[in-house]
Amino acid sequence: MSLDTALQPTADRPATDLAQLRSQLTLEEKVRLLVGAGLWSTTAVERIGLRAMHLSDGPAGVRGVSEDGAETSASFPAPSALAATWDVDLADEVGAAFASEARRHGVDVVLAPQVNLQRTPVGGRHFECYSEDPLLTGDIAVHVVRAAQERGVGMCVKHFVANDSETQRTSYLSRVDERTLREVYLAPFERLVAEARAWSLMGAYSGIDTGTTAAPALEHRELLHDVLKAEWGFDGVVVSDWVATKSVAAAAHGGLDLQMPGPDGVWGDGLLAAVLAGEVDEATIDEKVDRLLLLAQRVGALEGCEPSGALRDHVHDVDVPDVLRTLVARSMVVLRDEGGVLPLGVDDVATVALVGPNGAAPFVQGGGSAYVRPDRSSTLQDAIGAALGADVDVHAGAVSRFLPPTLDLATRCTAPDGSVGALVEVLDADGTVIDSAVRTEWGGWLREPAEHAASVRIRTTVALREPGTHEVGVGTVGRHRIVIGGRELSTSEQVVGAEVILDSSVNAPAPVVLRIEVDEPTTVELDATVQAVHPVGYASFARAELVHRVPVKSADELLVEAVAAAEQADVAIVVVGTNEEIESEGYDRTSLALPGNQDQLVKAVHAANPRTVVVVNAGAPVVLPWLDEVPCVLWAWLGGQEWPEALGDVLAGRTEPAGRLPWTLPASEADVPVPDAVPVDGVIDYTDGVHVGYRSWLRLGRTPAAPFGHGLGWSTWEHDAAVAGVLEDGSVVVDVTVTNTGRRAAREVVQVYVEPPVGSPSGDRPVRWLGGFAVVHAEPGESTTARVRVDASAFRTWDEERHGWVTPAGTYQLRAGRSSGDLRHTVDVSHPGSRATNPDG
């Protein structure tokens, strides 16, 4: 296929001839280009003016590529929060913020957005995804990607495809029928190619069984080559997920273009060898090289080329913290507000009891590769105090974290030479020290350049100051010896392989812990030697999670203190939620309950103070058994670095919490249509078919705690009328007139759902599905019209026999309303029907 280079930037060096550039490369050079040069960079060929391109995570900010770990970034709210605004203009601003952050960090391609779907609420990376609905996901993602790329920064959409859970994540196979793939899981990717012209795409760790081909995602020629590249015309680069490439020829033929990271890995030496052996022909390599060069041209990595995109010079015209603060405040979803508790009157609130484990220690980012080291952090106590002009008293009130926290090297530890921190020595196989440093920070993993590192030894003295029971421990995998306080706690000669780095089910065992009773301040020696692991493509790693728990109050004691504080305060704000033990890449959740005794805390605080606002600080759904009992419940997401101030804005009435759920909130775990994500014999069967998310709830006739699309905002609305007009291309425009009947200027998200013709032979179509939406703003008493476009493609279905799209004839009902469960008007639209259009022509 030929690559369209029409987007070539013109700047200093017009019309770079990519084919001519490629012709200057030797075979060895071309092959090297298809393998990363390092963890986050591609290979440079200075001779042809090609510099290395830098790639960096991810969906909640741009982490940056520096080695020292001190680089900070603007921490964005978890992506579901953006989807909860249903606001494509805000998505444009987020795309611009990605571009701005990327440029600040010297990053050419951001490894985002993630457009996998929230098929099950237990999915570990749920918070990284936008929605359980393909249309909402696609709309938001198209705007984010377009806005970033218009500023000359590439986005790498991930993870292609049907990679919707984490258990056994490097090996499972998603079994998805062709129609479900087309209508649901491929749909956002297809739009990103067609409407945003995404410059790159990441192939998943997992595999796909379409019924005709079962293969790892990176080897899936039917999907990568036939559908993505040939049918849709994707002209970007297919990047492997990190260390996901398992084969040389199969992946090369499958459609993978760039193995990341490098320079090792199976393509490291293997790809050249495969070409020389005739297993992969040079034309296949050339086609991939052309894609790489086009990407380089687009991001400005070729000498003489400026980054491509109409707005490339406007990349810094973004006040990123301001965008993030508005975004996360607006994204908050009012689940319930009996009697208009929100906003809190600034004049009548002098004292606040801020209660809850997440009130004391907010959880603003999910775990895993999405994590960035934030530019700034603030406390809820300060932010809410400032917003309300009130005294804020903080009480954890409950225990919700169960693993001992990380040992603080900077405040508790002394290295053998007397300096603050821990001595970290890297040893070779003979036990000779080849590197040594005193560290005051330790993230649990050590990344060392030394290729011949065999083990890492950590020594420090830990100060135990508080009376009571301390716990000091180390978690690790593989060969190790752990001695604390002179006692050998654990030893193993078992050697582990590189795969442990990606598989949390094996790389995060509970730490071995020594409990120490302390009367007077004392110290304890910690001495741990752990195996260095050498993942192909990464530098060596050693995992040694150093933990320390100070004596803590019991959950009951905490509860009593919090309730007493709530009784005394003008208002109680209870912040409950999940934490890094629950929501992360690398594992799925095992329960939808709030961890610990948080449910009990909510009920007790509400009994003590009827003026209680509950704030849920979580990304993915949790069951809220008290939802109908407390007056006011706000879903506030994992809000990133601006979260405390944004919550202050909402509570004080500066910004409307205008969010609408981008997923379904279950009332009980037993109701959830897809309750787990555990492969059976390595396979996850997508038996729910096209009935993803709310569609299954509707089909099964189950009532959730809050339906997809629900959110009350801070006003009330009447939906006066809906009229529809059909456009020439079969799209329908629905004009919905709404009136703000409340007392505050507010935003309304008008949603239009499509229902299939009654009795039509259209097969197993959902009860209803989202067809379009629009956000409007109105002053109190004002009426306005929301124009919702339902694209012609909303009516079509995939015909498996003809392998093409078809629109069954009949009268479709377009149902307009406030959520999938609150529909106010219906308009009928008759469609003459269309025969299958085979994408192959």
Q: Using CA atoms, how far apart are residues 297 and 225, in angstroms rounded to an integer?
A: 23
Q: How far from the centroid of its chain's Cα atoms is residue 663's Cα?
A: 14
* Close Cβ partners of 62 (under 8 Å, ≥ 6 residues apart): 56, 73, 74, 98, 101, 102, 104, 105, 107, 110, 372
State which of residues 31, 57, 145, 289 lies at the interface with ligand BGC (CB under 6 A). Answer: 57
Is residue 798 within the footprint of ligand BGC (CB under 6 A)? no
Number of residues near ligand BGC (by CB under 6 A): 7
Q: How far is the CB of 163 from ligand BGC (least distance, A)?
A: 8
Considering only residues 203 to 262 of the shown chain, the ones binding ligand BGC according to CB under 6 A are: 241-242
Is residue 158 within the footprint of ligand BGC (CB under 6 A)? yes
Is residue 808 within the footprint of ligand BGC (CB under 6 A)? no
Q: How far is the CB of 707 from ligand BGC (least distance, A)?
A: 30
Q: Using CA atoms, how far apart are residues 533 and 441, in angstroms rounded to an integer?
A: 20
Q: How far is the CB of 192 from ligand BGC (least distance, A)?
A: 16
59 versus 268: smaller Cβ distance to ligand BGC: 59
* C-alpha dist (Å) from residue 205 to 113, 245, 348, 478: 16, 8, 54, 23
Q: How far is the CB of 564 from ligand BGC (least distance, A)?
A: 45
91 versus 243: smaller Cβ distance to ligand BGC: 243
Q: How far is the CB of 583 from ligand BGC (least distance, A)?
A: 15
Q: How far is the CB of 581 from ligand BGC (least distance, A)?
A: 19
One-letter identity of residue 518: V
206 versus 598: smaller Cβ distance to ligand BGC: 206
Is residue 58 within the footprint of ligand BGC (CB under 6 A)? yes
Is residue 77 within the footprint of ligand BGC (CB under 6 A)? no
Q: Which of the 8 DSSP states describes residue 773?
A: E
241 versus 290: smaller Cβ distance to ligand BGC: 241
Q: Which of 20, 633, 737 shows the shortest CA–CA distance to 335? A: 633
Question: 452, 434 in Cβ contact below 8 A?
Answer: yes
Q: How far is the CB of 591 from ligand BGC (least distance, A)?
A: 23
Question: 581, 403 in Cβ contact below 8 A?
Answer: yes
Q: Using CA atoms, how far apart are residues 718 and 207, in angstroms rounded to an integer?
A: 47
369 versus 597: smaller Cβ distance to ligand BGC: 369
Is residue 111 within the footprint of ligand BGC (CB under 6 A)? yes
Closest residue (Cβ) to ligand BGC?
Answer: 369
Q: How far is the CB of 580 from ligand BGC (least distance, A)?
A: 16
Q: Using CA atoms, how far apart are residues 442 and 457, in angstroms rounded to an integer?
A: 13
Q: Using CA atoms, how far apart are residues 576 and 573, in angstroms rounded to an integer?
A: 10
* C-alpha dist (Å) from residue 587 to 157, 369, 584, 664: 21, 13, 6, 21
C-alpha count within 13 angstroms, C-beta hemisphere, residue 825? 17
Is residue 369 within the footprint of ligand BGC (CB under 6 A)? yes
203 versus 659: smaller Cβ distance to ligand BGC: 203
352 versus 502: smaller Cβ distance to ligand BGC: 502
Q: Using CA atoms, how far apart are residues 304 and 510, in angstroms rounded to an integer?
A: 53
Please name the residue that has the structure tokens 């700034």: 376
Q: Using CA atoms, how far apart are residues 475 and 403, in angstroms rounded to an integer?
A: 11
Is residue 583 within the footprint of ligand BGC (CB under 6 A)? no
Range list of β-strands (E), 267-345: 333-337
Q: Using CA atoms, how far apart are residues 296 and 645, in angstroms rounded to an integer?
A: 39
Q: How far is the CB of 446 from ligand BGC (least distance, A)?
A: 17
Considering only residues 636 to 695 of the shown chain, the ones binding ligand BGC according to CB under 6 A are: none
Q: How far is the CB of 730 from ligand BGC (least distance, A)?
A: 37
Is residue 101 within the footprint of ligand BGC (CB under 6 A)? no
Considering only residues 468 to 497 of the shown chain, the ones binding ligand BGC according to CB under 6 A are: none
Q: Using CA atoms, how far apart are residues 598 and 116, in angstroms rounded to an integer?
A: 30
Measured CA angle at 764 (ends 762, 765), to 5 deg: 75
260 versus 754: smaller Cβ distance to ligand BGC: 260
Residue 648 backbone dihedrals phi, psi, to 5 degrees: -60, -45
* C-alpha dist (Å) from residue 212 to 142, 175, 209, 216, 496: 30, 11, 7, 13, 36
* Annotated active-site residue in 164, 235, 241, 688: 241
DSSP-assigned letters across all residues of 652-687: TTSS--B---SS-B-S-GGG-SS-----BTTEEE-T
Please name the residue that has the structure tokens 């030479």: 417
Beta strand 468-475 with 545-549 is antiparallel
Q: Using CA atoms, how far apart are residues 262 and 259, in angstroms rounded to an integer?
A: 7
Please name the residue that has the structure tokens 């809850």: 356
Catalytic (active site) residue 177 = no
Interaction site with ligand BGC (CB under 6 A): 57-58, 111, 158, 241-242, 369
Residues recognised as catalytic: 241
